[in-house]
Amino acid sequence: MANSSYDLVILAAGMGSRFGGLKQVQPVGPHGELIIEYSAFDALRAGEAKGLGFGRLVLVIRKDIEADFRASIGRRLESRMDVHYVFQDLATLPSGFAAPSGRSKPWGTGHAVLAAQPAVRGPFAVINADDFYGAAGYRKLATHFRSTAIGAKPAYAMVGYPLKQTLSEHGAVSRGLCATDARGRLRSITEITKIEKQDDGARYTDDASRVHRLTGAEIVSMNFWGFTPAVFAQLERLFHEFLAQSGSDPKAEFYLPTTLSALNERGEAEIALLPSEDAWFGLTYREDLAAARDAIGALTAAGEYPAPLWGA
């Protein structure tokens, strides 16, 4: 496998309310493998040709699920990668702010990345624990890190997927709709909720109850990012702004896509958009589990992954 050069940060502190349980530890592989294991496997082998891949893992979890994580994931990965645990906590806020009464869910993906800061040592990728991204995105991010020179502003990257590859057969989803400039760089991300799959693409309903149609070819953010540590100071500042505006709302979330879009639109970062040709699938609803297992089974049968994943 690849030499250790980059960090892989996996966001695994979500509540799984629509799934109805701790979806991060649901087996999907033919020998009980978890989606996180396939992510780690793909990240490790991303740099085999160049010797520069992802050999270090940072798991962002909640303290109350630590025992389950160490039992179901840690024991499988700690012998193969340098694994670190960090905790996303509602109470970890800038001075002068406090979590509103009644809030139970985490502050969102932007806050989760901030929680990883003490464990991150250099360029790093960020993914969701319950999403399968395919091998191509990790290869593209490793190439981005190797080839991107230090410039006047931070240079980040986002791996994007066609919307049609990311929809669920079992209910509505939220996606970050991407717009690009003439050079193919990310210009903006618009967070769209209540997207439903249709025979000819998709549709969503806005806050004014208007229905909008989508072709399915639109590129969306699935929370697969490439950063340098420069992002932490930027996120801290924007999180402070978010709390000042929305911190009293028990349901408000500090979304990573909209936060990075704001940085981009302000001219404070450049974000390369790296389209992936691989299939994406995730666990939003419990009914998605069977489809995920079928997809992993098909990839394994096609020789994309060994079975068992880590050998006998």
The secondary structure of the chain, three-state, reads CCCEEEEEEEECCCCCCCCCCCHHHCECCCCCCEHHHHHHHHHHHCCCCCCCEEEEEEEEECHHHHHHHHHHHHHHHCCCCEEEEEECCCCCCCCCCCCCCCCCCCCCHHHHHHHCHHHCCCCEEEEECCEECCHHHHHHHHHHHHHCCCCCCCEEEEEEEEHHHCCCCCCCEEEEEEEECCCCEEEEEEEEEEEEEECCEEEEECCCCCEEEECCCCEEEEEEEEECCHHHHHHHHHHHHHHHHHCCCCCCCCCHHHHHHHHHHCCCCEEEEEECCCCCEECCCCCHHHHHHHHHHHHHHCCCCCCCCCCC
Residues 229-240 have pLDDT tens digits of 999 999 999 999
- The pLDDT score that the predictor gives to residue 184 is 79
Contact call for residues 115 and 86 (beta carbons, < 8 A): yes
Residue 15 scores a pLDDT above 70: no
Q: Report the alpha-carbon distance of residue 276 to residue 280 in Å, rounded.
A: 9
Q: What is the mean pLDDT of the chain?
A: 88
From residue 223, how far is each of 29, 99, 111, 194, 255 by CA, in Å? 22, 25, 13, 17, 10
Tens-digit pLDDT profile for residues 163-186? 998 888 888 888 889 998 888 788
Give the rounded percent of residues in the chain with a pLDDT score beyond 70. Answer: 94
**What value does the mean pLDDT take over residues 12-32?**
69
Q: Report long-range pairs for 213-217 (Cβ below 8 Å, ≥24 apart).
A: 214/163, 215/163, 216/162, 216/163, 216/164, 216/167, 217/162, 217/163, 217/164
Partnered with residue 162 across adjacent β-strands are: 219
Does residue 90 register a pLDDT over 60? yes
Identify the top-confidence range among 41-55, 232-246, 282-296.
232-246
Percentage of the chain lying above the pLDDT 90 cut: 56
Task: Give the pLDDT band (50/70/90) at residue 149.
Answer: confident
pLDDT at 19 (0 to 100): 39
**Could you give the CA distance from residue 2 to residue 289 in angstroms, rounded to a whole number?**
30
Per-residue pLDDT at 73: 80
Cross-strand pairs, 115: none
For domain 4-160+221-301, the CATH superfamily is: Spore Coat Polysaccharide Biosynthesis Protein SpsA; Chain A (3.90.550.10)
What pLDDT score was predicted for residue 4? Answer: 47
Q: What is the pLDDT of residue 183?
A: 81
Q: What is the pTM of this model?
A: 0.90
Query: Which pLDDT band, with edges at 50, 70 and 90, does 17 fall under?
Result: very low
For residue 83, the model assigns a pLDDT of: 92
Q: For 224, how many CA atoms within 13 A lie in the half-sphere containing its CB?
A: 30
CB atoms within 10 A of CB 211: 10
Question: For the chain, what is the radius of gyration of the CA atoms?
Answer: 19
Do 7 and 284 meet the contact criterion of CB atoms below 8 Å apart? Answer: no
Angle at 200 between CA 175 and CA 164, to 5 degrees: 35
Q: Where are the domains of the chain?
A: 4-160+221-301
For residue 3, what pLDDT band results from cuts at 50, 70 and 90?
Answer: very low
Confidence label for 116 from pLDDT (cuts 50, 70 and 90): very high
- Write down the pLDDT at residue 69: 80
- Which has the higher per-residue pLDDT, 184 or 158? 158
CA dihedral 35, 39, 40, 42 (to 10 degrees): 130
